[in-house]
């Protein structure tokens, strides 16, 4: 069900997004407690550059998707539609994310410790053939299979 909803949102955003300056980052349809949530994460693009996503932008996307969802009626149970930006600590999921954020500081949380650590931080060098490479603060290159990572996020640096 979640995959079907995600595919519908992708199709609708392929039409709506470029015309209105938005790009879909990801969707999730999850149950939390007794409630279901359809979460849509999107970026705003102006003049080919990613820019600040305001609450007004989220509302524009929300109204569009709400109308499409009401028309298609693909979800039978009650749910909440939430639209937001992916955030400063956005997860890197798609190959496009890894290309876009090459050179950025990231955090990799591992399922199993590697050299005694479950967290690797550093500059994203690449994702090639399923292998993520980062340069740590000591200048060492660390490479590991992406599937060994529980989460890969942009690091929030102040």
Cα–Cα distances in angstroms (integers) from residue 108 to residues 54, 64, 139, 150, in the given order: 28, 35, 16, 8
Is the backbone of residue 38 left (phi > 0), alpha (psi -120 to 50) or beta? beta
| Stated pTM of the model | 0.84
Domains and CATH numbers, the chain: 2-84 (3.30.300.70), 95-154 (2.30.30.180)
Q: What is the pLDDT of residues 39-73, one digit of tens each?
A: 999 999 999 888 999 999 999 999 999 999 999 99
CA atoms within 13 A on the CB side of 156: 6
Each residue of 3-42: pLDDT tens digit? 799 999 999 999 999 999 999 999 999 999 999 999 999 9
């Amino acid at each position: 069900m979640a995959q079907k909803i995600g595919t519908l949102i992708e199709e609708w955003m392929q039409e709506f997004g470029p015309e209105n300056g938005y790009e879909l980052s990801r969707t999730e349809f999850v149950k939390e407690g007794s409630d279901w949530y359809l979460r849509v994460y999107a970026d705003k693009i102006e003049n080919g550059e990613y820019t600040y996503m305001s609450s007004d932008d989220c509302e524009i996307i929300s109204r569009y998707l709400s109308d499409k969802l009401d028309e298609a009626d693909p979800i039978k149970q009650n749910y909440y539609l939430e639209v937001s930006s992916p955030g400063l600590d956005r997860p890197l999921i798609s190959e496009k994310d890894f290309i876009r954020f090459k050179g950025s500081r990231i955090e990799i949380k591992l399922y199993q410790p590697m050299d005694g650590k479950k967290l690797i931080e550093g500059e994203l060098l690449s994702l090639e053939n399923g292998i993520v490479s980062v340069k740590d603060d000591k200048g060492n290159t660390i490479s590991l299979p992406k599937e060994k990572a529980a989460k890969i996020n942009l690091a929030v640096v102040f």
